[in-house]
């Protein structure tokens, strides 16, 4: 989850806006929430997909590869957040 601090002209924090991190990796668009883990989302609007992957889905192998990437490598695949 990315959090952005909103500051006034004095540099004081006046608000915080947090957004989920959305990634596109090997054909899958997904949110990777720090508490709940990955969730497939629609690429057009980032809404959760109606059906999430089952335990035999190819997605889990792809996600495992994604998890092994360094933080810098993961950032190359982030499309929102």
* Sequence spans of domains, the chain: 20-80
Rg of the chain on CA atoms, in Å: 15
Answer yes or no: are the C-beta atoms of 16 and 4 closer than 8 Å. yes
Q: In this prediction, what percent of the chain has a pLDDT beyond 90?
A: 75
State residue 39 phi and psi, 5-degree precision: -145, 125
For the cut 80, the answer to whether the pLDDT of residue 57 exceeds it is yes
pLDDT in tens, 60-76: 999 999 999 999 999 99
Phi-psi region of 30 (alpha: psi -120 to 50; beta: other; left: phi over 0): beta
- Residue from 17, 15, 45, 16 nearest 31 by CA: 45
Which pair of tokens denotes residue 67? 């998890």
Confidence of residue 1 (pLDDT cuts 50, 70, 90): low
For 25-52, what is the mean pLDDT?
92
């Amino acid at each position: 989850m990315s959090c952005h601090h909103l500051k006034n002209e004095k540099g004081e924090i006046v608000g915080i806006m947090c957004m989920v991190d959305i990634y596109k990796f090997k054909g899958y668009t997904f949110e990777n929430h720090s508490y709940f883990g990955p969730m497939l989302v629609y690429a057009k609007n980032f809404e959760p997909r109606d059906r999430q992957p089952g335990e035999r889905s190819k997605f889990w192998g792809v996600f495992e590869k994604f998890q092994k990437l360094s933080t810098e490598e993961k950032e190359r695949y982030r499309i929102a957040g």
